[in-house]
């Protein structure tokens, strides 16, 4: 593929071609020394030339094995490869063949993985060796013909070789699942253009986030099944010829040492991370790093200024969501900042923003309301997702009158800055994970001793929010509630990722409902604020931990 160096490529592989042609010896990936051996990265650094070579070699092997001819018309492959650079090798190799990826959360349990295969239609998965058995068991519930291949193993010959069509800018590059509010997670279709635009947009943010082409090393602890890692971080570094430092996961005790070891100049975070770092005793290395800024969201406002003072770096609080892509990306990244106020900055010139009240009327000037946005100019959906897979009704509901309804409430101050207030959507945010209460309720209702259930968020000083379940048991009198609570927690741990299981289970004699038997969320949330003082509660928060298999990344 021959391209002018300054032209915009049509796909992710084309962007890699452009970057390696311009800066072959610049580092594409660097990892702390503690990860280099386990990830088979030698000295821990891959240049763009090395990265490109690994991508093209894998592309050729996949094509020789029969991809994409062997895939269904949806042309999707599921990936469970943790955070190591091999994930990105596979993504771009598949992209070169016109194939989209479906990342799998390593913490997913059988029912969640089954749902992913059933919804996406993927008929091939490439996964870490210690996840093969569990992914195979889940995939077999959908179609025994789904092939699950261990990372590093050779694909068996699938079909006669066929050259993949070059992916066009509007073709799907990835399918990511995001939490629904009243149903199972929805699959977001994300195009090549979506990712290309994200790299361009974040790379030009400016202010405190003034990225220097070829010089930045971005420390990224967030997982590859989340949009932050694959779009905000990887796409930006790829676009400007900079280096990504992926971690297996967030390790508070080695965070500053890892940053120094890998030469990080900036980092991404979620609210739980600063809180955990602040809880550690003072260490001599915590100010020896070279990181100018961190970008993320959700820090406790009371800890914002103390964090910056203690660790000698600034935190640019931001806001984004999978559906809105780079178009909606916002951050308080220009001085003077509004530290400790949950400020997400001012709208940028490419953004059109409006706040509306409960009656749908637009709020002019200062005020608080539901946030709606779109891209300025002729194409209001530029940079957004392409829609929810097989769910046109949900897509239409999100887009009304060419405005995207975010489901979040923000406040506009007199200076024009926006401040995040709350999620209007019924979503629980725990340690950066979005959890749909409806999904947890579905699992709990399957137990024969449960008549009704309502799952809500409760505040948590470290993880922002925790999952709490109010249970109306079948036998209000005489039931062994301790045993039932254990059974319900175990069922959730078997069927759901560990973080979705209820941290608190509370038995009640009734749930607040309307005349049509819908749970009154307002009354329930008020009750949840007093949960620590309620009787008949069972605390499982200390038992919500990753299994050994799910922690392998």
Q: Do 42 and 145 lie in a common domain? A: yes
Q: Do 456 and 331 lie in a common domain? A: no
Picking from 151, 82, 141, the residue whose alpha carbon sits closest to that of residue 110 is 141
Q: Are 312 and 293 in contact (CB under 8 A)?
A: no
| DSSP-derived secondary structure for 405-450 | EEEEEEEE-TTS-EEEEEESS--EEETTEEE-HHHHHHHHHTSTTE
3-state SS of 171-222 is: CEEEEEEECCCCCCCEEEEEEHHHHHHHHHHHHCCECCECCCCCCCEEEECC
Q: Do 119 and 225 lie in a common domain? A: yes
Does 5 fall in a domain?
no
Picking from 157, 177, 147, 90, the residue whose alpha carbon sits closest to that of residue 389 is 177
Q: Are 295 and 316 in contact (CB under 8 A)?
A: yes
Q: Do 441 and 316 lie in a common domain? A: no
Q: Do 207 and 315 lie in a common domain? A: yes
In this prediction, residue 291 carries a pLDDT of: 98
pLDDT digits (tens, 9 = 90+) for 135-145: 999 999 999 99
Does 194 fall in a domain?
yes
Do β-strands 314-319 and 293-297 pair in parallel, antiparallel, or remain unpaired? parallel
Q: Do 343 and 472 lie in a common domain? A: no
Q: Provide the 3-class DSSP secondary structure of residue 455.
A: strand
| Cα separations in angstroms, 542 against 251, 397, 474, 501 | 18, 38, 27, 12
In this prediction, residue 5 carries a pLDDT of: 41
Q: Do 461 and 339 lie in a common domain? A: no
Does 354 fall in a domain?
no
In this prediction, residue 395 carries a pLDDT of: 96
CATH code of the domain in which 263 resides: 3.40.50.12780
Handedness of CA 12, 17, 21, 25 (dihedral sign): positive
Cα 161 from Cα 242, distance rounded (Å): 35
Cα 471 from Cα 511, distance rounded (Å): 8
Q: Please report the beta strands in 97-167, taking only residues with DSSP state E, as ranges in sequence order.
A: 100-103, 124-127, 147-150
In this prediction, residue 186 carries a pLDDT of: 92
Cα 506 from Cα 90, distance rounded (Å): 45
3-state SS of 70-97 is: CCCCCCEEEEECCCCCHHHHHHHHHHHC
The domain boundary, picked from 293, 315, 347, lies at 347
| Cα separations in angstroms, 101 against 19, 175, 303 | 22, 6, 38
Does 233 fall in a domain?
yes
Does 307 fall in a domain?
yes
Task: Render the burial of 81-106: b for 16+ CB within 10 Å, e for the rest.
Answer: bbbbbbbbbbbbbbbbbbbbbbbbbb
Dihedral of the CA atoms 398, 400, 405, 411 (nearest 10)?
-170
Dihedral of the CA atoms 319, 321, 324, 325 (nearest 10)?
90
The domain boundary, picked from 302, 327, 347, lies at 347
In this prediction, residue 161 carries a pLDDT of: 46
pLDDT digits (tens, 9 = 90+) for 302-311: 899 999 999 9
* Residue in the block written with tokens 């929805």: 186
In this prediction, residue 73 carries a pLDDT of: 72
Structural domain for 124, as ranges = 12-347
Does 371 fall in a domain?
no
Does 273 fall in a domain?
yes
In this prediction, residue 552 carries a pLDDT of: 45
pLDDT digits (tens, 9 = 90+) for 330-387: 999 999 999 999 999 999 999 999 999 988 899 999 999 999 999 999 999 999 999 9
Over its length of 553 residues, how does the chain's per-residue pLDDT go in tens digits?
333 445 889 999 999 999 999 999 999 999 999 999 999 999 999 999 999 999 999 999 999 888 887 676 779 999 999 999 999 999 999 999 999 999 999 989 999 999 999 999 999 999 999 999 999 999 999 999 999 999 988 877 665 545 556 778 999 999 999 865 556 789 999 999 999 999 999 989 999 999 999 999 999 999 999 999 999 999 999 999 999 999 999 999 999 999 999 999 999 998 778 988 998 999 989 999 999 999 999 888 889 999 999 999 999 999 999 999 999 999 999 999 999 999 999 999 999 999 999 888 999 999 999 999 999 999 999 999 999 999 999 999 999 999 999 989 899 999 999 999 877 777 888 887 888 787 888 889 889 888 888 899 998 888 889 999 999 888 766 778 999 999 999 999 998 999 999 999 999 988 886 544 567 777 888 888 888 888 899 999 999 987 645 544 4
Q: Provide the 3-class DSSP secondary structure of residue 50.
A: helix
The domain boundary, picked from 323, 347, 371, lies at 347
Q: How far is CA 228 from the centre of its chain?
A: 6
* Residue in the block written with tokens 């400020």: 343
| Cα three-residue angle 331-333-335, rounded to 5 degrees | 140
In this prediction, residue 514 carries a pLDDT of: 56
- DSSP bridge pairs for 408: 423
Residue 316 φ/ψ, nearest 5 degrees? -95, 100
**CA end-to-end span of the chain:** 33
Q: Are 439 and 184 in contact (CB under 8 A)?
A: yes
Picking from 524, 420, 547, 431, the residue whose alpha carbon sits closest to that of residue 107 is 547
Q: Are 66 and 99 in contact (CB under 8 A)?
A: no
Q: Do 69 and 218 lie in a common domain? A: yes
Q: Do 322 and 468 lie in a common domain? A: no
Question: DSSP code of 352?
Answer: E
In this prediction, residue 2 carries a pLDDT of: 33
* Residue in the block written with tokens 């299981």: 501
Dihedral of the CA atoms 375, 381, 386, 389 (nearest 10)?
100
In this prediction, residue 518 carries a pLDDT of: 61
3-state SS of 363-385 is: ECCCEEEEEEEEECCCCCCCCCC
Cα 484 from Cα 250, distance rounded (Å): 34
Does 243 fall in a domain?
yes
Q: Do 312 and 451 lie in a common domain? A: no
pLDDT digits (tens, 9 = 90+) for 431-484: 878 887 878 888 898 898 888 888 999 988 888 899 999 998 887 667 789 999
Q: Do 229 and 338 lie in a common domain? A: yes
Total number of domains constituting the chain? 2
| Cα separations in angstroms, 374 against 86, 324, 348, 406 | 35, 8, 11, 10
Q: Do 92 and 202 lie in a common domain? A: yes
| DSSP-derived secondary structure for 18-34 | HHHHH-TTSEEEE--HH
Do β-strands 362-363 and 351-356 pair in parallel, antiparallel, or remain unpaired? antiparallel
Cα 92 from Cα 60, distance rounded (Å): 12
CATH code of the domain in which 461 resides: 3.30.300.30
Cα 481 from Cα 488, distance rounded (Å): 10
Question: DSSP code of 116?
Answer: H
Question: DSSP code of 496?
Answer: S
């Amino acid at each position: 593929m021959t391209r002018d160096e300054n032209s915009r490529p049509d796909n992710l592989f084309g962007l890699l071609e452009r970057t390696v042609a311009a800066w072959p010896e610049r580092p594409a990936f660097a990892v702390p020394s503690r990860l280099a051996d386990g990830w088979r990265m030698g000295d821990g650094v891959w240049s763009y030339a090395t990265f490109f070579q690994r991508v093209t070699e894998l592309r050729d092997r996949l094509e020789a094995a029969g991809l994409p001819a062997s895939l269904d018309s949806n042309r999707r492959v599921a990936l469970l490869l943790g955070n190591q650079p091999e994930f990105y090798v596979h993504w771009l190799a598949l992209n070169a063949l016109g194939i989209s990826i479906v990342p799998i959360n390593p913490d997913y349990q059988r029912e969640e993985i089954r749902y992913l295969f059933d919804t996406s239609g993927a008929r091939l998965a490439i996964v870490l060796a210690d996840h093969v058995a569990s992914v195979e068991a889940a995939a077999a519930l959908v179609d025994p013909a789904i092939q699950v291949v261990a990372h590093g193993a050779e694909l068996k010959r699938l079909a006669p070789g066929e050259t993949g069509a070059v992916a066009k800018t509007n073709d799907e590059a990835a399918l990511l699942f995001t939490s629904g509010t009243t149903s199972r997670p929805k699959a977001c279709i994300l195009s090549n253009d979506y990712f290309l635009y994200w790299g361009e947009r974040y790379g030009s943010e400016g202010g405190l986030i003034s990225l220097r082409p070829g010089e930045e090393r971005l420390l990224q602890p967030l997982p590859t099944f989340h949009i932050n890692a694959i779009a905000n971080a990887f796409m930006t570094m790829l676009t400007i010829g900079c280096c990504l430092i992926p971690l297996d996961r967030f390790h508070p005790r080695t965070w500053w040492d890892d940053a120094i070891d890998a030469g990080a100049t900036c980092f991404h975070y979620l609210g739980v991370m600063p809180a955990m770092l602040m809880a550690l005793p003072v260490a001599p290395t915590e100010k020896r790093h070279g990181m100018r800024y961190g970008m993320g969201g959700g820090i406790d406002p009371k800890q914002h200024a103390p964090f910056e003072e203690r660790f000698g770096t600034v935190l640019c609080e931001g806001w984004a969501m999978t559906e809105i892509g780079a178009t909606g990306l916002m951050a308080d990244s220009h001085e003077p900042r509004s530290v400790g106020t949950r400020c997400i900055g001012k709208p940028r010139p490419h953004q059109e923003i409006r706040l509306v009240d409960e009656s749908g009327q637009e709020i002019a000037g200062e005020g608080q309301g539901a946030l709606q946005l779109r891209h300025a100019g002729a194409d209001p959906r530029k940079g957004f997702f392409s829609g929810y897979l097989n769910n046109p009704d949900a897509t239409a509901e999100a887009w009304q009158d060419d405005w995207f309804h975010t489901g979040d409430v923000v406040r506009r101050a007199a200076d024009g800055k926006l401040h995040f207030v709350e999620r209007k959507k019924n979503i629980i945010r725990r340690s950066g994970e979005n959890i749909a209460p409806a999904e947890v309720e579905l699992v709990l209702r399957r137990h024969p001793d449960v008549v009704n259930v309502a799952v809500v968020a409760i505040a948590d000083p470290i993880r922002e929010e925790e999952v709490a379940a109010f249970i109306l048991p079948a036998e209000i009198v005489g039931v062994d509630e301790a045993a039932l609570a254990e059974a319900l927690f175990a069922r959730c741990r078997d069927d759901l990722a560990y973080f979705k299981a209820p941290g608190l289970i509370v038995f009640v004699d009734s749930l607040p409902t309307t005349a049509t038997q819908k749970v009154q969320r307002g009354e329930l949330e008020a009750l949840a604020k007093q949960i620590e003082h309620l009787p008949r509660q069972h605390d499982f928060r200390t038992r919500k931990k990753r299994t050994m298999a799910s922690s392998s990344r």
